[in-house]
Structure 1
């Protein structure tokens, strides 16, 4: 199989100059406000060897590195966006935000 290769000439891009008054990207939230995102509350983390991981069984306790009084992180796409305290909302868990990052 043979491919046709054509030479193309590119112009040098002209850089737009921002006057500092207007944002580079205009934000129209109406365009994206219907998008659903998934948030995850992260309580903490732990480290262990693969051997310890494979030895886990029902009833075992994995100790997290975070202390009880530390806030949980509210994450979007794996990145913390806020912190807060774990609360009960009816029969569900919730997070009461104390800090927006």
Structure 2
């Protein structure tokens, strides 16, 4: 009972206790910056029979469901987070983000 009261007999303020333990401090985002995530860029999709898959060889062409110029999908941890376009930077492929999916749209797509 003495632990709950200060020397004047009044109850301690619980928010004061939170400040003393550091629980009320601003959250530091640095703690999550080193968490690895899987990023996947999807140019398109197709469906194939196993027999057709086994016939593929070097130089084979697989037709995808998207046209040239269509935006490509960018996923993080299997969640669509953006759309973009393929660019070439110093002889390497890159992605230019053209549309970032809003958190509200991402939530709607879940259900």
- CA 1:72/1:54 → structure 2, altered by over 3 Å: closer, same or farther? same
Q: Give the C-alpha shift of residue 44 in structure 1.
A: 0.5
Q: Give the C-alpha shift of residue 28 in structure 1.
A: 4.4
Unpaired segments ≥5 residues, structure 2: 1-25, 102-111
RMSD: 1.8
Please, what TM-score do these two structures have when normalized by structure 2?
Answer: 0.61
Deviations 1:28-66 (A, max 9, x none): 422202223232211011111111111111111000011
Unpaired segments ≥5 residues, structure 1: 1-25
Structure number with the bigger relative contact order (C-alpha 8 A, sep ≥ 6) is: 1
Tell me the equivalent position of 1:50. 50
- Select the structure that is richer in helix: 2
Structure 1 stretches of 4+ moved >4 Å: none
